[in-house]
Amino acid sequence: MKLGIIGLPNSGKTTLFNALTGQGIETTAYPEPLSSEAHVGMVFIPDERVDRLSGIYQPKKTTHADVMCADITGFARGISAEKGKSALAALVWDADAVIHVVRAFADDSVMHPGGALDPAGDVAALELELVFNDLELTETRLERIENSMKKGVGRELELEKAVLEKCRAQLEEEKPLRNLGLSEEERAAIGSLQFLSVKPELVVVNVGEDELDSDETRATVAAIEEFYQGKDALVFALSAKIEMELAGLEPEEAALFLEDLGIAEPARNRVLGAAYELLGLISFLTVGEDEVRAWSIRRGTPAVKAAGKVHSDIERGFIRAETVAYEDFIAAGSMAAARDAGKVRLEGKDYTVADGDIINFRFNI
């Protein structure tokens, strides 16, 4: 699973990347040169449950769930026309979801590629690049399908053709595909095409540190929310600069800094929680004296596949998943008490793992 950070130059992508990954990549007040090299890092997903279980078990090792994150450089207005769709697609194609950073901080020392602050306009401009990419892709594919059908082959492509026509109409109106709200079946029909404007998006409105809670910020967020219509997209306001500073502080210092700013917790936690959800991921937990750990799986994953995350031998030799919901475990106070209360279930291969399940896999090889 991979998150890609996109945005116009100087919107604060690298700053946010540093805040999320704890890395210290150089940020620049001038647009970075166009390059296909993304900065890549792992992001740990904050999870209070892991911290609490770790407090209870005092394991040798505590491991949070993680996802890969890439700071993608090279986006600019007009890039789809200038560099062509393959260049654009190459930048983002392997991201499962996108964090789209929008500049809303005023700072004369940081060049603004559009000349002046215009967060909603910038959002529309970048989405338009994705839309152009997808429109070209749609037209090329439709032409192919129509040619095949003229020759009397490709009847199985009827559904794909119908979905593509729907997509074309949407894209011609310069609207992203994610707003279409395609069904699972429709998505599957066009699944082989690398559409960009269909990827789920977390839009981060990067505001100045004194604008975190202002009317102007709320108005900007509302305008951008209207653009996305809540379909596979969430909009947050934060200050990437503050988040990056916070990420570099010791916990006590960070707490003081937050107090100074009048913020309850770093936006990082909310952003990552939301990103995790957009990726369609949930966590199950394993506990013990050696390790307390969160594992990410796609929502809907059966127990036997979840076992495979831990080890392929456990998947192969799967017998049962001894499962207790995190809340039940905490309410009972210990594994023994949870068992006495009848809260520890023995689940089979096909059991759909739920977020927060604490699982002990029984297996035999």
Residues lying near Mg ion in the complex (CB under 5 A) are found at 13-14
324 beta partners: 358
208 binds ligand GDP (CB under 6 A): yes
The residue among 214 and 352 lying less far from ligand GDP, judged by its C-beta, is: 214
Find the shortest distance in angstroms from Cβ 94 to ligand GDP: 19
Question: Among 80, 179, 220, 239, which residue sits at the site for ligand GDP (rule: CB under 6 A)?
Answer: 239
Question: Among 4, 6, 13, 74, which residue sits at the site for ligand GDP (rule: CB under 6 A)?
Answer: 13
**What is the rounded distance in angstroms from the CA atom of residue 171 to the CA atom of residue 101?**
22
**Among 81-89, 234-242, 308-316, 337-345, which window interacts with ligand GDP (CB under 6 A)?**
234-242
The residue among 202 and 353 lying less far from Mg ion, judged by its C-beta, is: 202
Number of H helices, E strands in the chain: 15, 12
15 binds ligand GDP (CB under 6 A): yes
28 binds ligand GDP (CB under 6 A): yes
Q: Which does 29 bind (CB under 5 to 8 A by kind): ligand GDP, Mg ion, none?
A: ligand GDP
Burial of 26 (0-12, 13-18, 19+ CB in 10 A): exposed
222-229: Cβ within 8 A, 24+ apart: 223/119, 223/120, 224/102, 224/119, 224/120, 224/123, 227/120, 227/123, 227/124, 227/127, 228/176, 228/178, 228/179, 228/201, 228/203, 229/179
14 binds ligand GDP (CB under 6 A): yes
12 binds ligand GDP (CB under 6 A): yes
Residue ranges of the alpha helices (H) in the chain?
Answer: 13-21, 48-57, 79-83, 85-92, 119-150, 158-172, 184-189, 215-228, 240-247, 251-261, 267-278, 303-310, 312-316, 326-332, 335-340
Binding mask 92-131 for ligand GDP (x = CB under 6 A): -------------x-x--x---------------------
21 binds ligand GDP (CB under 6 A): no
The residue among 12 and 176 lying less far from ligand GDP, judged by its C-beta, is: 12
Find the shortest distance in angstroms from Cβ 7 to Mg ion: 9
7 binds ligand GDP (CB under 6 A): yes
Find the shortest distance in angstroms from Cβ 264 to ligand GDP: 19
The residue among 19 and 332 lying less far from ligand GDP, judged by its C-beta, is: 19
Q: Which does 59 bind (CB under 5 to 8 A by kind): Mg ion, ligand GDP, none?
A: none
4 binds ligand GDP (CB under 6 A): no
For β-strands 357-363 and 318-325, DSSP reports them as antiparallel
Tell me how crowded residue 353 is: count the other CB atoms within 10 A of its CB: 26
- 291 membership: H or E segment, kind and range: strand 291-298
Farthest-apart Cα atoms in the chain, separation = 71
Cα separation of the two ends of the chain: 29
- Per DSSP, 12 falls in state S
Q: Which does 323 bind (CB under 5 to 8 A by kind): ligand GDP, Mg ion, none?
A: none
Q: Which residues bind ligand GDP (CB under 6 A)?
A: 7, 9-15, 27-29, 32, 105, 107, 110, 206, 208, 239-241
